[in-house]
Every structure is written in C-alpha cells, then in structure tokens.
Amino acid sequence: MCAKNAMEEFEALLKESFEIDTPAEGSVVRGKVIAIEAGQAIIDVGYKMEGRVDLKEFTNPGEAPDIAVGDEVEVYLDRVENARGEAVISRDKARREEAWDRLEKAYAEDARVDGAIFGRVKGGFTVDLGGAVAFLPGSQVDVRPVRDAGPLMGLKQPFQILKMDRRRGNIVVSRRAILEESRAEQRAEIIGKLAEGDAVDGVVKNITEYGAFVDLGGVDGLLHVTDMAWRRVNHPSEILSIGETLKVQVIKINKDTHRISLGMKQLQEDPWDSVEAKFPLGSVHKGRVTNITDYGAFVELEPGVEGLVHVSEMSWTKKNVHPGKIVSTSQEVDVMVLEIDTAKRRVSLGLKQCMRNPWEVFAETHPVGTEVEGEVKNITEFGLFIGLDNDIDGMVHLSDLSWDQRGEEAIQDYRKGDMVKAVVTEVDTDKERISLSVKALEGDPFADAVGGVKRGSIITVTVTMIEEGGIEVEYEGMKSFIRRSDLSRDRSEQRPERFQVGDKVDVRVTNIDSKSRRLGLSIKAREIAEEKEAVEQYGSSDSGASLGDILGAALKGEGR
C-alpha cells in the first residue's frame, strides 16, 4: 500500500515538473539567443527545446536587425515540437501580442504611439506599430493632401489611434491628428502675439477665387478679395502671386477658431473720404463699366469708387431691355451724379441724363400741326403706335383714324410695318407721350361745313329720308335727324309724312356737337323764334292787335 502511494506521488511530481518546465503552446515565452547562422537566430526556450527565427523578424522598418548571441527575447510558441524535433517559434507573433497589449493601453489613455510607414495599400498606407500593423488612411497622412509620401516611408514618428478591434486585428491610425495638435499649439502661441489693427508682413501661400491665404510666420490668415483694394478686384491673381511678400493689417482674430482675417486696403487712403468733393451732384464724369447685372450697370469713377446706373436711368427710350444690350463691360461712358450716400458708400449715376430728352427735342422740332411719317410699330385695342425719330413712338388713338368710320373699323385697314402719315396734335414731355392724328391730314369736314353756323342760326336743309320718328336731313354733306316733336309747333302738324324726300326746309340750329359731329335742328324752334320776333317787331301790349294781325303784317313785310 505504501509502494502504491509513493508511485502516485512520484507521477504527480513528474507531471508538475513537466507543467513547470514545458511552456504552453500559443503563449509568449522568454528565450535566449544561443547562435546566429544562415540569417536565423537559434533560441533556447527552455526544457532543452530550441527554435529558429528569421533575423528579419527582429528588424523594425527602416532599421538594422537588433539581435546578438546571449540576448534574451520573447517569442511566441506555436508548437512544442516539429518534424525535426524543434520548437516552432515566432518573434513577430510575440511582438504582435506584446504590441496589442501596449496599444490597447495607449488607446484607452488616448496616448500617442510610435510607428513607421512601411507600405502602400488601396486608400492609404500600412504602419508598423512595433509589431502590430495598422492602416493609415490617405486623408489622415497630413493636414493637406500629400502627393509624394516617399520621404515619410520608414521614418519613425508618432501616430494617434483612431480605432482598434483586436478580435478582427484591425487598427486605424492618424498622423494628421498629431500635426493638427502641434499646429494648433503653434497657432495659439503666434496668435497670442497678434492684435487686431497690427500691420504685419506675410507671404502669399495660396490663391483662391475668393481670396488669398497669407503665412504670417507659422499661422495663416485669409485676405479676402474685397479687402485687397478699394477698387473692384475680379480675381485675386490680378494683383497677387504665390510667394509674394506683402504688408497686411490684422482685421479680426477669432479666439475660438483661431481664424485670422487680413486686409490690404485698410493700409491705404480711403477714396470715399473725398467722393462728395470730387463728384458733386449734377456733375458729369467719364467712367468705365465694371460689371453688368439685371438691374443696372456699375461704373468706376476712379479706383475704389463705383456707382450704379440703375436700368431706369440708362436710356430715355429703351425701357424693358437688359442693361447688357445698352452698355458692355469695360466700355467708357459719360455719366451724371444723381445721388451720393457716403454712409452706405453708394453713388447713383445716370446715363440718359448725359443725352437730351428726345421728347423735348421732338417738341422743339415738331410743333403741333407738323406732319410726320413713320412705321406702324404696334397695334393695340386703343390705337396705333408709330415709330418716330430718336427711337420714340407716337400714338394715333382710334378716334383719330377716320372722320367717317368708327375707330374699331378704321384700324382694321392697318398692319404692322405700314408707313403712315399723321399730324402732331400734342407733345407731353413729362409723360413722354406724343399724340398723332391721321384724320387731321384731310381737314375736318364737319368744321368746314358748320364753319359759319352758330347756335340759333336758321339754315336750309334737304330732306333725305322719311321715318316714323322724324325725318333725316342733310346740310353741306352733314346728316342730321329732326325728331317728330320738332317738326312743328302745332301738334297736328308733327307728321313726318307731310314731307317729301328732296324738300327744302328752313330749320333752326339748336345745338352744335363737335364730338359726335352732329347738328341739333328743329323746325318747331324756328317757328317759335319767328313768332317771338314778329311780336317784338309789330305788336305791343296796348295795340289791341290780334296775333293773326301781327303775323299777317310780318308776312306782308317779308313779301315787300
């Protein structure tokens, strides 16, 4: 029984001895370099086991192998024994395990890690972080895009771990984050020495459409295109070039973002200080068109001083056209100063004011009654527009087209492009309106016919038509209508049928309507007037004569 217990105890001790002396597969063990031959290091890992490791596994990118006989190193034990009776070991795997432990700790503490870029892959580079391989995206190499990464290859430098996953073996690092951090520190130090209003020297580093970036000795400031000169600058390259040294003023410093705004024009005299003295209201100056918009054109009066010619002040006649059809960029023009607002730095200019008002010129050269000729430019529901001199139009109203026809009928005889003669009847320069008349060319037949006729006159007319309500008569070619009630003072005689077409009848003019071109006529009114006249001439209140006696005497008097 004692012998059996002793045997069990011996086996337990033997097993414990094996466990102590024999390292577990898949673990990192410590060994000693006993020889270096054929590009390999022979390492004793204990328990009379040796393994071989390629020297390149002891090499960091950009460095020579750092290994010598007698060195103690940590290696990864893959298997205890291979076909040749050796331990299968790896320095790379040992370094990787060691590196992952170290990197996870650095990642947790947000600390920097050292590494070296050693290869190029799609989308970026590979970085050796002392045994573990990380991915460096192309966008994280530098603060600006890097065209040639050659000088950075193999160079030991710090990186920031952005993301890591040990299970998948993924690590993503950034070199840019380190540069930005150090750059921010440098910027903060330089910015701390600057103050708004300082005049400093700088070097143009980059030029864009909206401005230029100027290096102030380690920190960049933006010189916006509008702060380069008092005059309009279309593109910064007009006045700046990369590498040029210039003096600028610090306009604004943003303490939070560390952005610096710079200006050049602030170091020059402001031309607006003398605008009112140089360009008084109503004065005319020669300027250059710098920019054209939908609402007008900007004209440079001198470098740094621009004024706007609003579209309404560009032409007397071209009202609804784009400014670009009246002037062109870089064209020299004469303009008049209409208004100055120094507070808003605005000058209102007029182009048309430098030319005579064409309606005033027309009024001087074409007084009322002048005959003109022009092309029909437009036909509207209320008349014709006729093109006249200096691109102005005159209008012939419907009522001025014909003496005989209604305007709606007369206008049907006209087409666009027809050449038409007319007479000037009115020129309103304030309203820019010219009234013309076509019918006035022929004279007014109504005025000619009734020239000697006045209200109350007795005229002889010819009956032209008998109607139930009265009779139509004609006088000097002018037609009029006498109503039944005006045919006689006696109701029994107010019968149209008692007249015949062609009869000559004396009538009294009761009304002359030039607008409707009608004469108001009445036989009744003539009879009443004659009766009144006879009474006044032959009768008296105390004569005792009867009305018949008076009229008889009057008729005898007419017969003599």
* pLDDT recorded at residue 286: 92
Question: Interhelix angle for 547-559 vs 523-538, to 10°?
Answer: 100
So what's the architecture of 445-538 in CATH? Beta Barrel (2.40)
Query: What is the rounded distance in angstroms from the CA atom of residue 291 to the CA atom of residue 331?
Result: 10
Q: Which segment of 183-192, 208-217, 485-494 scores lowest on mean pLDDT?
A: 183-192
Q: Is this structure's pTM higher than 0.75?
A: no
CB 248 within 8 Å of CB 263 = yes
The pLDDT confidence band at residue 94, using thresholds 50, 70 and 90, is low
CB 418 within 8 Å of CB 376 = yes
So what's the architecture of 110-180 in CATH? Beta Barrel (2.40)
The pLDDT confidence band at residue 96, using thresholds 50, 70 and 90, is confident
The CATH fold assigned to 21-109 is OB fold (Dihydrolipoamide Acetyltransferase, E2P) (2.40.50)
Reference 176, options 125, 137, 140; nearest CA is: 140
Q: What is the DSSP string of 294-344?
A: TTEEEEEEETTEEEEEEGGGS-SS--SS-GGGT--TT-EEEEEEEEEETTT
Q: Looking at the domain covering 194-267, what would its CATH class be?
A: mainly beta
Query: What is the rounded distance in angstroms from the CA atom of residue 51 to the CA atom of residue 38?
Result: 14
CB 231 within 8 Å of CB 304 = yes
- Of the two residues 63 and 20, the one the predictor is more confident about is 63
Buried b (16+ CB within 10 A) or exposed e, 236-251: beeebeeeeebebbbb
pLDDT at 149 over 70: yes
Query: What is the rounded distance in angstroms from the CA atom of residue 253 to the CA atom of residue 549?
Result: 120
Amino acid type, 547? L
Can you list the pairs that 533-538 forms with residues at least 24 positions away whose Cβ atoms lie under 8 Å?
Answer: none
Query: What is the rounded distance in angstroms from the CA atom of residue 477 to the CA atom of residue 471?
Result: 16
pLDDT tens sequence across 302-328? 888 889 999 988 888 887 889 998 899
pLDDT tens sequence across 112-126? 888 888 888 898 999
Can you list the pairs that 1-10 forms with residues at least 24 positions away whose Cβ atoms lie under 8 Å?
Answer: none
- Of the two residues 447 and 153, the one the predictor is more confident about is 153
- Of the two residues 410 and 378, the one the predictor is more confident about is 378
So what's the architecture of 271-354 in CATH? Beta Barrel (2.40)
* pLDDT recorded at residue 445: 63
Q: Which segment of 31-35, 284-288, 505-509 scores lowest on mean pLDDT?
A: 31-35
Query: What is the rounded distance in angstroms from the CA atom of residue 202 to the CA atom of residue 539?
Result: 121
Q: Report the mean per-residue pLDDT for the chain.
A: 80
**What is the DSSP code (8-state) at residue 266?**
G
Residue 412's Cβ-side half-sphere holds a number of Cα atoms within 13 Å equal to 5
The pLDDT confidence band at residue 298, using thresholds 50, 70 and 90, is very high
pLDDT tens sequence across 523-547? 888 888 888 887 777 655 444 455 5
Q: Which segment of 49-53, 90-94, 440-444, 493-497 scores lowest on mean pLDDT?
A: 90-94
CB 330 within 8 Å of CB 288 = yes
CB 323 within 8 Å of CB 313 = no
Domain 358-437 coded CATH 3.40.50.1820: no
* pLDDT recorded at residue 328: 92
The pLDDT confidence band at residue 148, using thresholds 50, 70 and 90, is confident
Buried b (16+ CB within 10 A) or exposed e, 314-332: bbbeeeeeebeebbeeeee
- Of the two residues 47 and 199, the one the predictor is more confident about is 199
pLDDT at 448 over 70: no
Beta strands 383-387 and 433-437 are unpaired
Q: Helix, strand, or coil here: 98?
A: helix
Q: What is the mean pLDDT of residues 341-347?
A: 86
Domain 271-354 identical in fold to domain 358-437 = yes
CB 272 within 8 Å of CB 307 = no
Q: What is the mean pLDDT of residues 129-134?
A: 82
CB 23 within 8 Å of CB 29 = yes
| Residue ranges per structural domain of the chain | 21-109, 110-180, 194-267, 271-354, 358-437, 445-538
CB 513 within 8 Å of CB 533 = no
pLDDT at 56 over 80: no
* pLDDT recorded at residue 24: 61
- SS3 of 273-285: the string is HHHHHHCCCCCEE
pLDDT tens sequence across 5-20? 656 665 665 555 544 4
- Of the two residues 515 and 422, the one the predictor is more confident about is 422
* pLDDT recorded at residue 247: 87
CB 442 within 8 Å of CB 433 = no
Q: Which segment of 19-23, 40-44, 386-390 scores lowest on mean pLDDT?
A: 19-23
Reference 44, options 15, 71, 79, 14; nearest CA is: 71
* pLDDT recorded at residue 560: 40
pLDDT tens sequence across 79-88? 666 555 566 6
Structure-token pair, residue 23:
């390292």
Query: What is the rounded distance in angstroms from the CA atom of residue 447 to the CA atom of residue 465?
Result: 24
